[in-house]
Homo-oligomer: A and B are copies of this chain.
Amino acid sequence: MRDLSKDRSLLAINSATVKPWTLEQLVEGCVRAGITGIAPWRDIVQAAGVEKAGNMIRAAGLTVTCYCRAGLFPAADEAGRRAALDDNRRAVDEAAAIGARSLVLIAGGLPKGSKDIAGAWRQVHDGIAALLPHALDAGVPLAIEPLHPMYAADRACVDTLAHANDLCDQLGNGLGLAVDAYHVWWDPDLPRQIARAGKRILTYHVCDWLVPTKDLLLDRGMMGDGIVDIPAIRRLVEAAGYAGPREAEIFSRDNWWKRNGDEDLRTVKKRYATAT
């Protein structure tokens, strides 16, 4: 097997890593750093204007490794579910407009007031099923990303690769997976489920689990600063056939977000070679 660990063209930056930056700053910063792939979140694309965003990215010669993020299907009533579906269709259109290789979906949590997680699972299934025809028309693959189970209540009730693989089995063509080392590293079923995923893996995210973790959402670590054996997970996804980029996606309110974005990118580049 070709060793992809040092291939710099496979490094991509998720905009959450340099959260304070606008899309323009992200594009310019990556060009300065010699990084060729970006994974922008919707907020900065919408702030720039979708058409302008696409032009800016194409002019800079950057690849959009994925577009983050849509999904969040469960809602308390039919109007809420329809609104979620409409928003997901807009996200597909935005992803197409900026040339994203996939649109990342997170499941969404329990609707307000609900304790029915099985009901939420069904709504996620039905929401993706309803979204798929539009995504297939637009040529945008959907990548369901299982999050860590600590987000099951309020962000994503699909929390294991097994569950995401099941959804792919059920819903078929047009749906794949996003694997994020941070969300799945703890799972004893990981090798089996990554092998099962195979070519379904559309995108692969990295960051690290810090000990201690001070905040459930915003205290993720730079690769190498935590306890995840990230290279071992890379080898699993490569063995499954994935040869795409590794996107650094680091939510870090009290550390990396407070630093200079160019410094963050220099550190990511260094760690890419030594710790992913």
Contact = CB atoms under 8 A, between A and B. Distances in A.
Q: How many copies does the complex hold?
A: 2
B116 A229 contact: yes
A50 interface: no
Contact of A149 (B115, B116, B149, B229): B149
A227 to B, nearest CB: 5
DSSP majority for the A interface?
loop
A16 interface: no
Given A153-B211, A154-B212, A157-B186, 17 more contacts: A115-B227, A115-B229, A117-B185, A117-B186, A117-B229, A121-B188, A148-B149, A149-B149, A149-B150, A152-B185, A153-B186, A153-B227, A160-B188, A162-B189, A163-B188, A213-B216, A216-B216
17 contacts: A110-B227, A114-B227, A116-B229, A117-B186, A121-B188, A148-B149, A149-B149, A150-B213, A152-B186, A153-B186, A153-B226, A159-B186, A160-B187, A162-B188, A162-B189, A163-B188, A213-B216
